[in-house]
Amino acid sequence: MAQLPILRYPDPRLHKVAKPVEAVDARIKQLVADMLETMYESEGVGLAATQVDVHERLFVMDTSPEHDQPMVFINPQIVARSEELVIWEEGCLSVPQVWDKVTRNARVTVRALDREGAEFDIALDGLAAVCAQHEIDHLDGKVFVEYLSLLKRERIKIKMAKRAREEARGVA
């Protein structure tokens, strides 16, 4: 397994729409393993393939308290959404150290393939529902900061650009 580099906002590659995974083969299984390692090492609860510059419809997540229940979603689609909404303070491995409130559906049902290629449906609520919606947004080329006001987005872009310059100089 290998830890993968995570794209940082406002990298334009984060806005690419991911294509469906054509086959759950050895390459995809290795990508899943690498993404899980990357997510855990980065202390995240979810990671979309788009974030590691692979533009295929795949994400991993683990919202369990002990971080020991990894879930894999290949070619995910939301097939049902609750009318009830929740406001959740979200963060993102592609936008480190930035948190803000986003409104999402309180419950969703996701249909996907697992790491062996078997189709499943799962009803999610709470953090898991928010995480799945956040990661599917990544696969659709959308970053959570796009739910924020234009002013907030511009401030985040400036902050991220400054941080990238500092890291390039070895200041961070």
Q: How far is CA 58 from the centre of its chain?
A: 9
138 is in an annotated binding site: yes
By percentage, how much of the chain surpasses pLDDT 70?
98
67 is in an annotated binding site: no
Annotated catalytic, 37? Answer: no
pLDDT class of 2 with cuts at 50, 70, 90: confident
Do 44 and 12 form a contact (C-beta atoms < 8 A)?
Answer: no
Catalytic residue among 37, 116, 135, 166: 135
- Cα-based distances in Å from 86 to 89, 105, 135: 10, 6, 17
pLDDT digits (tens, 9 = 90+) for 59-97: 999 999 999 999 999 999 999 999 999 999 999 999 999
pLDDT reported for residue 167: 84
pLDDT digits (tens, 9 = 90+) for 9-50: 999 999 999 999 999 999 999 999 999 999 999 999 999 999
Alpha-helical (H) ranges within the chain are 26-41, 126-139, 150-169
Report domain extents, the chain. Answer: 12-169
Q: Which two tokens stand for residue 35?
A: 């993404």
CATH topology for 12-169 is Peptide Deformylase (3.90.45)
pLDDT class of 171 with cuts at 50, 70, 90: low
